[in-house]
Amino acid sequence: MSDAYKNIGKIPELRKRILFTFLMLVVYRLGAHIPTPGINGDALAAFFAQMQGTILGLFDMFSGGALERLSIFALGIMPYISSSIIFQLLTVVVPYLHKLSKEGEMGRKKITQYTRYGTVALSIIQGIGISFGLEKMTGPAGELVVPHPGWSFRIMAVITLTAGTAFIMWLGEQITERGIGNGISLIIFAGIVVRMPSAAVNTLKLVRTGEFPVLLVLVLIAMMVAVVGFIIFMERGQRKIPVQYAKRVVGRKVFGGQSTHLPLKVNSAGVIPAIFASSIIMFPATLAQFSTIPFMQSVAGALTPGNWPHEFLYVGFIVFFCYFYTAVTFNPTDVADNMKKYGGYIPGIRPGAKTAEYIDRILTRITFGGAMYLAAVCVLPTIMVSQMKVPFYFGGTSLLIVVGVALDTVAQIESHLLQRNYEGFMGKARIKGRR
Q: How far is CA 99 from CA 28, 93, 151, 178, 327, in A?
A: 36, 11, 43, 29, 18
State phi, psi for 264 to the nearest 5 degrees: -115, 115
State phi, psi for 254 to the nearest 5 degrees: -110, 125
Question: Nearest-CA neighbor of 87 among 100, 75, 76?
Answer: 100
Question: Nearest-CA neighbor of 44 among 130, 166, 150, 158?
Answer: 130
* Contact of 74 with 33, CB cutoff 8 Å: no
Which residues, given as ranges, of the chain have pLDDT below 50?
429, 433-435
State residue 167's pLDDT score: 93
| CA-derived radius of gyration, the chain | 24
β-pair type (248-250, 238-245) = unpaired
For 418, the 3-state DSSP assignment is helix
User: How far is residue 182's CA from residue 122's CA, in Å, rounded to a whole number?
Assistant: 22
State residue 434's pLDDT score: 43
For 385, the 3-state DSSP assignment is helix
Question: Nearest-CA neighbor of 410 among 385, 432, 387?
Answer: 432
Task: Kindly give the residue spans of alpha helices, DSSP state H, lying in 63-150.
Answer: 66-69, 78-93, 95-101, 104-136
Q: Per residue in 156-185, pLDDT tens?
A: 888 998 999 999 999 988 998 888 888 888
* Contact of 75 with 165, CB cutoff 8 Å: yes
* Contact of 172 with 77, CB cutoff 8 Å: yes
Question: Nearest-CA neighbor of 59 among 259, 275, 242?
Answer: 275
β-pair type (259-265, 253-255) = unpaired
* Contact of 26 with 121, CB cutoff 8 Å: no
* Contact of 318 with 374, CB cutoff 8 Å: yes
Q: Name residues whose C-beta falls within 8 Å of residue 373's C-beta, 6 or more positions apart in sequence.
A: 230, 234, 266, 267
Task: Kindly give the residue spans of alpha helices, DSSP state H, lying in 194-271.
Answer: 196-208, 214-235
User: How far is residue 116's CA from residue 15's CA, in Å, rounded to a whole number?
Assistant: 30
* Contact of 37 with 161, CB cutoff 8 Å: no
* Contact of 331 with 357, CB cutoff 8 Å: no
State residue 368's pLDDT score: 92
State residue 435's pLDDT score: 42
Q: What amino acid occupies position 12?
A: P
* Contact of 289 with 300, CB cutoff 8 Å: yes
Question: Nearest-CA neighbor of 281 among 205, 382, 424?
Answer: 382
β-pair type (238-245, 259-265) = antiparallel
- Residue 403 burial (CB < 10 Å; 0-12/13-18/19+)? buried
* Contact of 303 with 336, CB cutoff 8 Å: no
Which domains can be identified in the chain, with CATH numbers?
A: 1-194 (1.10.3370.10), 207-394 (1.10.3370.10)
Q: What is the pTM of this model?
A: 0.75
